[in-house]
Amino acid sequence: MSRDLLVRHFRQIAVWPLQLMPVSAGPVQRHWELLDAAPDCEWAEVVDEFCEDPRAFQERHYREFVTFLPYAQRFLYGSSAGQESSRRRGEGSIRTYRRRGIHAARITFERGGPASTFRVAHVDLNFFLDADVALLAFEMHADDLPLDVAQNTMFRFGRAYPGFWEKNGDGGNCPYSVEWLDADGRVLSASDYSDRGKYLEFVGRHRAPCTAAHWDFLLRPFVLEHAGQAGALRYRQLEYYRMPFMAYFAFDDPRQLTRADWVRLGLVTRPGGPDELPYSPVMLEDFEAKYCDDRFWGRSGERSLREVRLVVTGLTLSMVGAHGDQFYADVEHGLLAQFRHQYFLLFLVAHFHKASLLSISDELAVAMNRLVVGNTESVKAFKRTIRQMMEAFLRFTHRYWFCQISNQELAQSVFDKLQRHLGNQALYDEVRDEVMDMNNYLDSDSTRRQTNTVLRLTVVTILGLIGTVATGFLGMNLIAAADQPLVLRIAAFVAILVATFVITVFSISRARRLADFLEALSDERVTWRSKTRTLWRVFRR
């Protein structure tokens, strides 16, 4: 039976997008600077291979680098020129920090069931310049796993919190227990999916879901954002609580997998019988065409037994092949190396695109919620926020957004599938429309203010014209006041000054009504009686 198959090598990389809260008032946040300054921090920046001795640069790194197009290379690896080098020569747009101390993960899937131990390859936190998001990458692996254990790991492991609870109190669809182990096998932290009261109370108090204890421990010093949280480094959960992930399977003969097994690996469902489809045949009619890349599946010739299939659903990317195939299993030059590096970067970029767009959309929604129409300070703060978000979207578009990442056919095909299944293009168009709507609002509001100013100036100018003509007429020496005493001349000047000031202030305050009167006065179709009533309204409160 299919469930008796052994996965000779299983590897899973969970990728968890997080929204980071601002740490400064400026538009560009650099959260890693606070992480560097945190005392007793378990996170340390990864010095990439480009900063080492160039003579030690390996072929694997070279093959990874040339997979991508030049603008993607500058994004992923940095550049010696341009904005990327503003802080440090060759600084890339991605900053990677690696967590020390966690060497294994012990997972118990069912209450009273056996535990499976996975070796942890690394735990990375990836930051991005000009983007308030971070992506956690948790990579673990094991050898000679039963297929149902590998399927259970895919189905249950990457859960930020339980969505519900079983009748016995266990977290629904979650492992019974997840434990982080150090190098000596000591437990550093354990999950608390069964603590139903904790999760209910947290949501009832903060209107936000609580992170499970072992993930909370993993992310420290980052803490979950909620009311009263005083941590400097704070995050929000940005997407669904089930983390996206990549999975690598190496079988003795992958052709032994049934269609039901392929559906479970691709759509990540519970383990089941080899002939039991998890969904109806109608729903799965186009499964292979929609999700599978079979360019290396069913080949003829001397390597016909070396089958490789990729299953891409957006939230998952699974690679399945033969354990004895050097093309597939070689850790330096085979597809396993590409899975951990090239394909991981494809997966990371696609989910970074989605996370960034969701973050910008969320900030726009928050700005709208904080807007109080009629409150001058609220309107000013709203305009500042919108302008900052427009700048952030512009930087994202020109620095990070691209549809073609590689000229290598398989890599580009995988990236296209990821983008399509994640709906990134539609999400980008939606956010762009939101930003354009905000921009149109700011432009129309600015135009309205300018129009009101011009209206007031026009009214004051027209009324001032009357005063100018009158004073010019008086200047024709009809009233000879030049020979009057100085006191009288000063009094006359002050009286005229006060009268002019009062008339000007009155004109500005009643500019709209005066404009209505001038418009009625110039309209020949309006009767003099109506014009008089319009003039009378100027002086009424």
Q: DSSP labels for 302-346?
A: TTTT--EEEEE-SSEEEEEEETT-HHHH-TTTSHHHHHHTHHHHH
My answer on whether 423 and 311 are in the same domain is: no
Asked whether residue 456 falls in the same domain as residue 443, the answer is no
Which DSSP letter does residue 45 get? E
Residue 49 lies in a domain: no
Give pLDDT < 70 ranges for the chain. 1-3, 25-28, 48-57, 79-92, 300-305, 374, 449, 452-453, 455-457, 459-460, 462-483, 508, 518, 523, 541
Which among 451, 485, 511 is the end of a domain? 451
Whether residues 405 and 292 fall in one domain? no
Rounded CA separation 489/502 (Å): 20
Establish if 476 belongs to a structural domain: yes
- Do the Cβ atoms of 201 and 318 come closer than 8 Å? no
Residue 211 maps to a domain: yes
Interval 94-113: pLDDT, tens: 889 999 999 999 999 999 89
**Residue 10 shares a structural domain with residue 23:** yes
Query: Comparing C-alpha atoms, which of 281, 274, 278, 279 is closest to residue 256?
Result: 274
Q: What is the pLDDT of residue 302?
A: 57
In a domain, 91, yes or no: no
Do 171 and 134 belong to one domain? yes
The count of domains in the chain is: 4
The answer to whether residue 501 sits within a structural domain is yes
Q: How confident is the model at residue 417, as a pLDDT?
A: 94
Domain check: are 29 and 161 in the same one?
yes
In DSSP terms, 146 is beta-bridged to: 6
For residue 119, the model assigns a pLDDT of 97
Q: Among the three residues 395, 424, 451, which one is the final residue of a domain in this structure?
A: 451
pLDDT for the residue 1: 41
pLDDT of residue 395: 86
CA distance 322 to 338: 15
Q: Are 343 and 413 in contact (CB under 8 A)?
A: no
The predicted structure's pLDDT at residue 89: 47
Whole-model pTM: value is: 0.82
Domain residues for the domain of 413 are 341-451
